Every structure is written in C-alpha cells, then in structure tokens.
Structure 1
C-alpha cells in the first residue's frame, strides 16, 4: 500500500468543475493509454495517488507533439506517470523532474528504470525551492503539479529558466471550484492553497509579459506563455 497520498489526499482532485456527463465523455471517448502508461494510471487510481486525469493526458499528447519541446522541467514527480507521458510524446526531449516525497521518489525510480528506455528523464530529489535556484538550463516547457500554495513561490525562478516563447502548465488550479468562492466559504484547511492561487492569478492573468489561459480540464490548468526576456511579477 502506498501511504503518502492515502493519508493526505486532496479532496478537491476528485471534484472536476465541468459537467459530470462531459467529464465522462472525455474520459471514455478519448484514446486510452497504452502499455506502461495504462499500467501506471491504473496503479495510481487504485492507490489514490494523484496523477493527471485522462482528459489532461489527451491535451498533453497534442501539446507535446505540436510544441516539440527539447528541454522540459517538471515540479512534482509522484510515481513518474506524467514524466513518462512527456517522454513518449516528446521523444527528442530531455526531462528534469523534481520531488521531495521519499515514497514517491522510490516508486518513480523503479518506473523510470523499467520504462525510460531512451534515458530521457533525470530525477532530482529535494525541495523545489532549493533545487530550482541551482538549475542552469533553459527550458521550453515547465509542468508544475506540486503543492498548489507554492506555485507562486516557484514561479519567479521557473520563469527565469524558461525560454522566451516557452510554456508553463500549472495543474489543479480550480480546487474543485473553491477558487471562485469568497474565502469565508472555503474550508479552513484549504485556505492557504486558496490564498496562494489567488496571488498566482493576480500575478499572471493580466500580466503584459505573459499570455495566460485557464483550461477546464480535470481540476483546471493554467497555461502561461513567456513573451519577454524578463517577466515582472508583483511583489
């Protein structure tokens, strides 16, 4: 049994904001995962480990094959599902992925050893706040799927390491619809996440140095394109 997420699962990840019948249509009609990706998706569901839902998987397939990123950064590895998805649909890319959960790191290492046949993926162990400052690569695509309240903390360094024209994709930014409510209606245990996401929206959605889009896939994606060599964010 995988204990990390069974004990601490975010209840919002099971609350997609699109109509239930549309979510079901997307998950049933979009092409299924194959091979090891199907195996890992099944394992994650059985163990209540948060990986991107199937409608987001399908979006990533199109995004990766269109953008063809050469260097990808991921914050939040979990069992390695999304990193392996990116490796499959961006076969010429090099992927750096960061996680600090020892249980997830062990599982990801096992999965990368078995399935990362082209050796595209490098796993960095530790807190992203510390590791991001030491990265000297320039990335074409960054996928953030970690602590939601920390997105705004990670973002300045992420943008520093992102190529002009590069994309940042941030997952689970709707929190089951909580982000649209007054803070008084949000459970106290979720208010730190709420405040962090509101700061993220304030910093990005109307920023002239970025092009932003909110996508209602899964629990919501925020897509950012870097338009200028230096992106000014509010203090």
Structure 2
C-alpha cells in the first residue's frame, strides 16, 4: 500500500476540461502504453498516484520522437513513469529528474533499476528549490509536474538553464477548470494553487521573449519556448 498519496488528494486533475466523450475517444483511439509502461500505469491508477493520462502520453510520445531532445530536466519524478516514457521515445537523451518524496523515490529507483536499460536517467533527491540553483547543465526540454503553486517559483531558475529554442511543459495547469473561475468560487484549500497559477499565466502567456500556449490535454498543459538567452519574468 502506497502511503504518501491520500485517497482524498486533489482530484481537480481528474475532472475533464474537455467533453468527457471526447476524452474517452482520445484515450481509446490512440496508441496505449505497452509492456512495463502499461504495468506502471496500472499500478499508479490502483494506488491513486497521479501520472500523466493517456492523451498526454500520446502527445509526449509525439513530442519526444519529433524533438529528440538531448538533455531533459524533470521536476516531479513520482514513480518514474514519465521519465521512462521520455527515455523510451528519446533514446539518445540524458534525463535528470528531481523529487523529494521518500516513498516515491523508493519506487522510482526500483523502476529505473529494472527498466532504464540505457542508463539515461539520473535521479536527484531533495527539494527542487535547493537543487535547481546547483545544476550547471543546459537543457533542451523541461517537464514540470510538481507542486502547482511552486511553478512560478521554480520557473526563473528553469529558464536560466533552458537552451534558446528549448521547451518547458508544465502539467495540470487548469485544475479541473477552477483556473477560469473567480477565486471566490474556488475551494479555500485550492486557492494557493489558483493564485500561483494565475501568477504563472500573467508572467508567461504574453511575455515578449517567450512563445507560450495552453493545450487542453489532461488537466491542461502550459508550453513555453525560450526565444532569447536572458529572460526576465515580471514580479
């Protein structure tokens, strides 16, 4: 039994923001996970561990095979599902993934030992706020799937380490549609996330030196391309 994800965890990401019949269609018509990725997907669903849903998996498969990034940074490892998905579809890449949840780190280490056959993945244990400032590499692709209220906190450090032309993908930014509502209509326990995401959108969507787009897959993706070497985000 997995202990660190409550059965009463944030369920916003499970409330489709696209029509439910369209979501079902995307999930059944597109290629599903196979082999060990299908096993990890089933384990995550059984244990209430959030991983990217099938429609986002299909999109990531396309992105990785098309972009073929050489260096990938991931913030939020969980059981290692998305890192392994990226490794499988970008076989020349080196992936650095960060997590601080000890229980998830244990599962991720076990899964990487079993399935990371090309030794592509390096797991860093600890708080991303501490680790990011110590990273010296430049990355072509960054996937952020951690505390949503911290996206705006982590993003300046991420952009510093992102190559010009590189892409950042931030997951679960719609919060089941809450993000489009007045804050008074959002449950009090979700308002910190709401405020953090609104700050994120304010800082990125119309930034003159970023190209940003919102994609209605899963619980929403924010995709950002870095267009010049030095990026300053508004406070």
TM-score range, shorter chain: over 0.9
Distance 1:132 1:62 in 2: 27
User: Do the aligned residues in 1 keep the contact of 2:166 with 2:225 (CA within 8 Å)?
Assistant: yes
Match of 1:6 in 2: 6
Report the aligned-residue RMSD. Answer: 0.7
Any conservation in 1 of the 2:95–2:121 contact (CA below 8 Å)? Answer: yes
> SS in structure 2 opposite 1:32?
coil
Residue in 1 that maps onto 2:37: 37
1:85 aligns to what SS in structure 2? helix
Deviations 1:115-160 (A, max 9, x none): 0000000000000000000000000000000000000000000000
CA deviation digits over 1:142-184, x for unaligned, max 9? 0000000000000000000000000000000000000000000
Structure 1 position 11, deviation (Å): 1.2
What residue number does 2:107 align with? 107
**Distance of 2:85 and 2:128 partners within structure 1:** 21
Offset at 1:22?
Answer: 0.3
Aligned to 2:207: 207
Q: With structure 1 as the length reference, what TM-score do the two structures score?
A: 0.99
Secondary structure of 1:6's counterpart equals coil
Preserved contact between residue 7 and residue 48 of structure 2 (Cα < 8 Å) = no
Q: Compute the displacement of 1:7 (Å).
A: 4.4
- Matches of 1:51 and 1:140, distance apart in 2: 22
**Is the contact between residue 72 and residue 139 of structure 2 (CA under 8 Å) also seen in structure 1?**
yes
* Correspondence for 1:94: 94
1:73-125, CA deviations, whole angstroms, 9 ceiling, x for partnerless residues?
Answer: 00000000000000000000000000000000000000000000000000000
- Residue in 2 that maps onto 1:64: 64
Residue 3 (structure 1) shift: 1.3
> Unaligned stretches of 5+ in structure 1?
none
Deviating beyond 3 angstroms after TM superposition, the runs of 4 or more aligned structure 1 residues are none
Superposed, which structure 2 residues align to 1:164-183 within 5 Å? 164-183=164-183
Please report how far the alpha carbon of residue 4 of structure 1 lies from its aligned counterpart in structure 2 after TM superposition: 1.0
Q: Tell me how far 1:8 sits from its aligned partner.
A: 5.3
Deviations 1:203-234 (A, max 9, x none): 00000110001000000000000001011201
SS in 2 for 1:61: helix
The 5-angstrom pairing of residues 1-235 of structure 1 reads: 1-7=1-7, 9-235=9-235
